[in-house]
Chain A
């Protein structure tokens, strides 16, 4: 599947290409290689073929199925799909089929997109390598001895392996951008509230956002334009009309002011830092004014994040108690049943974060941990605001390293550092995108992150597009 989503949709809408052929090609690519990669928890072959046939009928009847006509889309397996297992790659949701579909999925289908499967993730989106999946890890299609990143590793790998030109992930601390960087694809996290979270199984509600994976910046903007916009089912969804990103994509960066975030260049592998500097030069060459800027509180992002996210997770994951759905391990009384079910159903990283979060919210500790982390978050927002007084967009590495080997980061703290550059945007609620730019010393792709102020997606995509052209 080497065609872009934009090309497929254009060809399907004009009748030059049948959706059925597109889907068959995708399914045969998956069939050939997903046994090795394990991007998917579930491939929806029959459903995808039926949906493709319906698209073809509509085109034949003179209908326009929409901007994603016939485009295969892979969904991270924490997005609810009616009647189709949605697992979060966790044993605790064993056997559960949602009775409803996530808003983003409804929008993709309404735009003519075809869901081809549910992709693997770190359990409940907690991790940076997809090694925390209860169903086994996903392999990086560019080097199968390496991780694809995470937590949306399955979606990143699906796009990198050309199983589908588009995929959705969720990004709480970098879970779209970091695997995109490690798999050499484009991954984008929208402004908090730009995309509805209704139907996204929550990890940390104040940080979670759904966003696109694609091979090109144009496809990223295309999918962002389809899934963004107000949803009355999500109270945190922005009610104002959002500017689409596609129309201004090729407007260039002439005259834009762009800042390299000093704090996010520290502690980064030299080969990765070199590519970020090269990206800065490319933007300068394209007419932008690039300077170094400081976002001092960004260095506290990891610390604040690992209090706020686990705190919210400890509450969000309480409902998996064996009473109503999913796994239940029977025991003598309800308290023991809760304990046995959760002990058997959750993996070690999920348990670690539930414990961290429970502790951070406990009476007597709230102010010192959760309360303080929220104050740091306010500082980060303030420092970003100051930076955006000086520049239009910010630049940094996406990940401190290229894709690492399986088992290389068995120390949880080492793993947590994978998201040092991506977490600040989640805490601030700002949009950010990772664009493949050059390669590291190991020959694997490097991702450069473009960040912008809230709701500045169109501007951010222009910068990303300029980088893509120079890469």
Chain B
């Protein structure tokens, strides 16, 4: 949660670079693969050799369109520009990227809590190579003894998704990245692996007094996990507030997150920013997907996480945020089918989100029907919570499909209510002093009564039901 002083608010916008899972690179037929021997997936085009020319990868365009559709964007005719700057990881010393006419504009993404975050654009561009700086100071090119460049990544297709500055806390930002990652994976466009750099996040952070116009923002780079993102935003917002409260001002600049010291450090200010001299890429023609193609892409998309949450929430009669975990774990269909098969919705959600999620590898052993039967045994008081968990564990372990049979084999014959009442009455009769206290309102003895009943029933009694019987006996006393 946010730890800002009263009256302050943070404003966050995120830029997420997503590597597309195409077979080949954006402008050539080199393999798009992570972790291969350096400089083996290269050719004249992705090495930017003199005379080579780019040819756009149709699959990359289709993935970009899938992302656009999933983010409710308008998909438009678009063009590529050249972004010019010198750096050794860019073979041409310009990056081919979409600039003021991107393929996807004006969309939105819905967080599990229902909040909508605006998407400004989601455009295509090529990735750069990867540099490793050896010796010298701090892994930066300046001061290094020498640098190694791997161009396997050069020309890998990216979609950069730029949010609107709609987030107000680090939790929002983390939820946004998690949700976006789930959407990207659902579209098939990305493997969502932040640890392999498939997903890279830059954060634009500013602070303001609630109600004031936006403050000056800083862009934070080098955020390699959702956790770093949260920490970096918290640190950066505090840094900016401290400056402003001291009467200083925030300088617009790019800052580098250092995981080790937990701080952001200035990289370059606005004055030092590159002039990228964008101009339309003359070696490529405009990308203008036909209406039919756009329609086909839209129709081929599977349901997105927000749709799945809404659907299950409606079937279960709960809030969408209550089923977020199930959707994340891909358990929503099982639960929905179980509910359709007559399962108690809340029990089904709880058991799936806890027990099944904890043993997700074995979920294939659970059918909607067997799961429905199990949760209903719990709902009907035929099994206690503890027993239900044990039966479910046995089902996941492959010991059987029929929860009733497993329960029987384990001796979990549920006590019927009248038998349990008899045991409760026995325990009351055996403890008259304690019963006096209980009737007089002393809650401390409740545990003793429940414990005694459990002992007499060998743990088969449902604690909740015992409490109900005790309460009814007291009101009758």
Interface residues of A (CB under 8 A from B): 78-80, 86, 88, 93, 96, 98-100, 102, 197-202, 204-206, 232-236, 311-312, 314-315, 318-319, 321, 323-325, 333-334, 338, 358, 361-363, 366, 370
Evaluate whether A235 and B56 lie within 8 angstroms (CB atoms) in the complex, with A312-B282, A358-B277 already known: yes
C-alpha spacing A363/B274, complex, angstroms: 10
B50 contacts A86, CB within 8 Å? yes
Is B142 an interface position by the 8 A CB rule?
Answer: yes
Q: 4 shortest A-B CB distances, which residue pairs? A: A318-B93, A206-B282, A361-B277, A205-B282
Cα-based distance from A200 to B49 in the complex (angstroms):
11
How near does chain B come to A339, taking the closest CB pair, in angstroms? 10
Q: Known contacts being A198-B53, A358-B277, A363-B275, is A236 close to B48, with CB within 8 Å?
A: no
In the assembled complex, how far is the CB of residue A135 from the closest CB belonging to chain B, in whole angstroms?
A: 17
A363: chain B residues within 8 A (beta carbon):
275, 277
Cα separation A319 to B56 with both chains bound (whole Å): 20
Binds A, one of B80-88, B185-193, B467-475: B80-88
B5 within 8 A of A: no
Contacts A315-B82, A338-B86 supplied; 19 other A-B pairs, CB < 8 Å: A79-B51, A86-B51, A99-B49, A102-B51, A198-B52, A202-B50, A205-B283, A234-B55, A312-B279, A315-B94, A319-B48, A321-B88, A324-B47, A324-B91, A333-B142, A334-B88, A334-B141, A362-B277, A366-B279
Q: Are A202 and B142 in contact (CB under 8 A)?
A: no
Residues of A within 8 A of B135 (CB): none
Inter-subunit contact B50/A98 (CB<8 Å): yes
Q: How far is the CB of B137 from chain A (nearest CB, A)?
A: 12
Give the residue name and chain of the A residue nearest to B84 (CB). A315
Provide the residues of chain A in CB contact with B279, threshold 8 Å: 311-312, 315, 361, 366, 370
Contact with A along B34-76 (1 / 0, CB 8 A): 0000000000100111111111100000000000000000000
Within 8 A of A (CB), among B256-313: 275, 277-279, 282-285
- In the complex formed, the residue of A with least CB distance to B279 is A361
B51 touches A200 (CB 8 A): yes
Which residues of the other chain, B, contact A361 by a CB distance below 8 angstroms? 84, 277-279
Q: Which of A314, A358, A361 has the most CB of B within 10 A?
A: A361
Q: Given contacts A318-B84, A319-B91, are A80 and B277 in contact (CB under 8 A)? A: no
- Chain B residues with CB under 8 Å of A197's CB are 53
What is the minimal beta-carbon distance from A370 to any residue of chain B, in angstroms?
Answer: 6
Does B17 touch A at the CB level, under 8 Å?
A: no
Q: Any chain A CB within 8 A of the CB of B221?
A: no
Answer whether residue B121 sits at the interface, using C-beta atoms and an 8 A cutoff.
no
Whole-angstrom distance from the CB of B99 to the nearest CB of chain A?
12
| Shortest Cβ distance from residue B301 to the other chain A in the assembled complex, whole angstroms | 28
Q: Which of B51, B142, B284 contacts A201 (CB 8 A)?
A: B51
B125 to chain A, nearest CB (A): 16
Q: Taking A235-B56, A362-B275 as contacts, is the C-beta distance between A201 and B50 under 8 angstroms?
A: yes
Would you call B92 an interface residue if the criterion is a C-beta within 8 Å of the partner chain's C-beta atoms?
A: yes
Q: Which of B51, B93, B282 contacts A199 (CB 8 A)?
A: B51
Nearest CB of chain A from residue B287's CB, rounded to whole Å: 10
B: which residues have CB within 8 A of A?
44, 47-56, 82, 84, 86, 88, 91-94, 141-143, 147, 149, 275, 277-279, 282-285
Contact partners of A198 in chain B: CB under 8 A = 51-53
Contact partners of A311 in chain B: CB under 8 A: 279
CB-based contact B86/A321 at 8 Å: yes
Contact of B93 among A86, A232, A234, A321 (CB under 8 A): A321
Name A236's contact: one of B44, B93, B277, B285 (CB within 8 Å): B285
- CB pair A232–B55 under 8 Å, yes or no, is yes
Chain A residues with CB under 8 A of B283: 202, 205, 235-236
| Chain A contacts for B44, CB-based, 8 A | 98-100
Contact B88 A323 (CB under 8 A): yes
Q: What CA separation (Å) do A325 and B44 show in the bound complex?
A: 12
B51 and A80 within 8 A (CB)? yes
B contact residues around A370 at 8 Å (CB): 279
Of chain A, the residue at the smallest CB distance from B82 is A315
Rounded to whole angstroms, the CA-CA distance of A325 and B141 in the bound complex is: 20
Chain A: minimal CB distance from B144 (Å) = 9
Contact (Cβ within 8 A) B282 A318: no
Whether B51 pairs with A202 at a CB distance below 8 angstroms is yes
CB of B280 to closest CB in A, whole Å? 9
CB atoms of B49 and A235 under 8 A apart:
no
Closest Cβ–Cβ distance, residue A428 to chain B (whole Å) = 15
- Provide the residues of chain A in CB contact with B142, threshold 8 Å: 333-334
Q: Complex formed: what's the CA distance from A62 to B324 in Å?
A: 75
Chain B residues, Cβ within 8 Å of A323: 88, 149
Quick check: B285 and A235 within 8 Å, CB to CB? yes
Residues of A with C-beta under 8 A to B51? 78-80, 86, 98, 100, 102, 198-202
Is the pair A80, B50 in contact by a Cβ cutoff of 8 Å? yes
Bound: A275/B278 CA distance, A: 45
Nearest Cβ on chain B to A358's Cβ, whole angstroms: 7
Residues in B whose Cβ lies below 8 Å from that of A86: 50-51
Please give the distance in Å from A366's CB to the nearest CB on chain B.
Answer: 7
Residues of B within 8 A of A324 (CB): 47, 91
Residues of B within 8 A of A234 (CB): 53, 55
Residues in B with CB closer than 8 Å to A312 are 279, 282
B55 and A233 contacting across the interface, CB-CB below 8 Å? yes
Q: List 12 A-B contacts (CB under 8 A).
A: A86-B50, A93-B50, A99-B49, A198-B52, A202-B283, A233-B53, A319-B50, A321-B86, A333-B141, A333-B142, A361-B278, A366-B278
A34 to B279, CA, bound (A): 42
Beta-carbon contact of A318 and B141 below 8 Å: no
Q: Which single residue of chain B is at the shortest CB-CB distance from A101?
A: B51
The answer to whether A235 and B84 have CB atoms under 8 Å apart is no
Residues of B close to A99: CB separation below 8 A:
44, 49
Task: Give the residue among A98, A233, A319 with the most B Cβ atoms within 10 A.
Answer: A319
- CB pair B92–A319 under 8 Å, yes or no, is yes
Q: Which residues of chain B have C-beta atoms less than 8 A from A358's C-beta?
A: 277
Q: How far is the CA of A232 from the CA of B45 in the complex (A)?
A: 13
CA A318 to CA B44, docked complex, whole Å: 16
Q: Which of B44, B92, B278, B279 has the most CB of A within 10 A?
A: B279
| Docked pose: A208 CA to B52 CA in angstroms | 14
Residue of B nearest to A326 (CB): B50
Residues of A within 8 A of B284 (CB): 235-236
A252 and B142 alpha carbons, distance in the complex (Å): 67
Kindly list chain A residues whose C-beta atoms are within 8 Å of the C-beta of B50: 80, 86, 88, 93, 96, 98, 201-202, 319
Who on chain A is nearest to B147 by CB? A334
Kindly list chain B residues whose C-beta atoms are within 8 Å of the C-beta of A200: 51
How far, in whole Å, are A333 and B147 apart by their CA atoms in the complex?
11
Task: For the complex formed, measure the closest distance between the CB of B209 and the CB atoms of chain A, giving whole angstroms.
Answer: 32
Q: Which residue of A lies closest to B285 (CB)?
A: A235
Give Cα distance in the complex from A314 to B84, angstroms: 9
- Determine if B141 and A319 form an interchain contact, defined as CB atoms under 8 angstroms apart: no
Let me know if B49 and A98 touch, CB within 8 A: yes
User: Are A318 and B94 in contact (CB-based, < 8 A)?
Assistant: yes
Complexed CA–CA distance, A362 and B277 (Å)? 5
Task: Note all chain B residues with C-beta closer than 8 A to A96.
Answer: 50
Q: Using Cβ atoms and an 8 Å threshold, which residues of chain B touch A102?
A: 51
Q: Which residues of B contact A366 (CB under 8 A)?
A: 277-279
Q: Which residues does chain A contribute within 8 Å of B53, judged by CB atoms?
A: 197-198, 233-235
- State how many angstroms separate the Cβ of A417 from the closest Cβ of chain B: 25
Task: Give Cα A114–Cα B306 distance, bound, in whole angstroms.
Answer: 64
Interface centre among B44, B50, B94 (most CB of A within 10 A): B50
Partner of A319, one of B93, B143, B147, B278: B93
The listed residue (B54, B55, B92, B149) touching A318 by CB distance below 8 A is B92
What is the bound-complex CA distance between A324 and B440, given in angstroms?
A: 89
A90 CA / B351 CA spacing, docked (Å)? 73
Shortest CB-to-CB span from B215 to chain A, Å, is 24
Question: Please, which residues of chain A bring their CB within 8 A of the CB of B278?
Answer: 361, 366
B131 to chain A, nearest CB (A): 10
B86 proximity list for chain A (CB < 8 A): 318, 321, 338
- Give CA–CA (A319, B142) in the complex, Å: 20
Q: Select the residue from B49, B51, B82, B279 with max chain A CB neighbours within 10 A.
A: B51
